[in-house]
Structure 1
Amino acid sequence: MATVAAVQMVSTPVVEENLATARRLVGEAAATGAQLVALPEYWPIMGMSDSDKVAHAEQQGSGPIQHCMAALAREHGIWLVGGTLPLVSPSAGKVLNTTLVYDPQGVEVSRYDKIHLFGFNKGSESYDEARTIVPGESVGAFEAPFGRVGLSVCYDLRFPELFRAMGECALIIVPAAFTHTTGLAHWEVLLRARAIENQSYVLASAQGGLHTNGRRTFGHSMLIDPWGEVKAVLREGEGVIHGELDATFLAGVRESLPALRHRKL
């Protein structure tokens, strides 16, 4: 058995406020006995405009956001999957939306740059991440003591081929800032589908509430088991959800319904 936890936030435009919130909530998550804790997408900054994050972009390996994550992993002795933060990109005025993973010694051990960039236009609601983000190019995964962990971010959830490319994972992480509109329609069904088809636990850490910039995110951070059952959920607001990864249950699902072995393509 391994305990994992997801942190849900309602991030603000002020980085220092978000760092303080993350410290408090990661501490709460570690107090549950969690060996791995995941932060949400955009946890360090949810700006008044999309371009605000560019000013806070860090070089990999340095900066207050990364120092905070490394210190939290080391202080609590946890694997920390750091949601996403803005990293400097080769393109002027744009960033990489990056997940960094830290081991219990606070050492960065894995990186994933979000590949699929969200675009949505319906009435007065419009988003285009490609205006300020450069897409990543490589699949992300790492080995934890309880098995392989796949990395994805938010809009990636709609592209099942990415999850297949991760290999056979014990756990898949989905930090997100789903809009309330799309989340209400698709969030849970997509998360459960990814868990079922990959016969893997899925841990989703979300932004969840009304932000200072007027954006409303859907929340519903959750842990889903390989049979597709939701084991824990937090609908809105700041907080933590946690639950167990049961290796025996995981193996039993794959043995009784060996869909991964039945693949032809």
Structure 2
Amino acid sequence: MLPDIQFFYAAIPAVILVGLSKGGLGGALALLGVPILAMVVPPMQAAAIFLPILLVMDAVALWAWRHHNDRKTLVLMLPGAILGIVLGWATSTYISAGAMRLVLGTVTIIFVARYVYDTYGPNSKIETPPKPQRPLAAGLWSTLSGYGSFVAHAGGPPFQIYVLPLKLDPRTYTGTSVRFFAIMNAVKVVPYFALGELDTANLTLSAFLLPVALVSTLAGARLVRLMKPQTFYPLMYAMALLAALKLVWDGAGF
């Protein structure tokens, strides 16, 4: 049986935002998806509903970016990411829905704060050289990325904290990011099945929402060519902050 109409009031905008992100409009949009859906269903169920949709989007993105990749970054980060997924799996039954909301909201707030500092802070106009590959830092941030990705598909901020300072060519960065998260999403299928989250009910909801995701992904690719990032991104990060504050409020039990 399908949930009431309030579920779709949240689910459709959430999927549209994630689809726009996959189309090329940036991580802020993807970060909004699970927080919005988690307002009407438990966070783990929200993440489970999104997983099959993300797998289809990943397949399209992998084909589009098949010629672009930074192999060394993937080699350094994937072991930590898989460890983070395992840790998320091991602790998922011990963490309440409220705690997961707090984790997700806090990660989102940190991500927004980092964006604001980088964009408007004292060093925003200072050109810094690319950082070298750092195995220890790659392991730390990729583990956090894997954990955040498992509990709420929120692995983007830790990934960006490590990879953006490398200052890869934009196409190389995008191709590497696509591969990193596609591999993580594929790995997550096993623990999500083991936890019983990919049941018939959730897969049915994913199937209903998939056409919305595909259309919005194509729309995102189109909008990238039309919209000025200077106007769009501040608005999206503001929306991410509002969603995060709502999750923290709910998770803290106020």
TM-score range, shorter chain: under 0.3
Which protein is richer in strand relative to its size?
A: 1
> Structure 2 length as normaliser, TM-score?
0.28
> Structure 1 length as normaliser, TM-score?
0.27
Between 1 and 2, higher relative CO (CA 8 Å, sep ≥ 6) is seen in 2
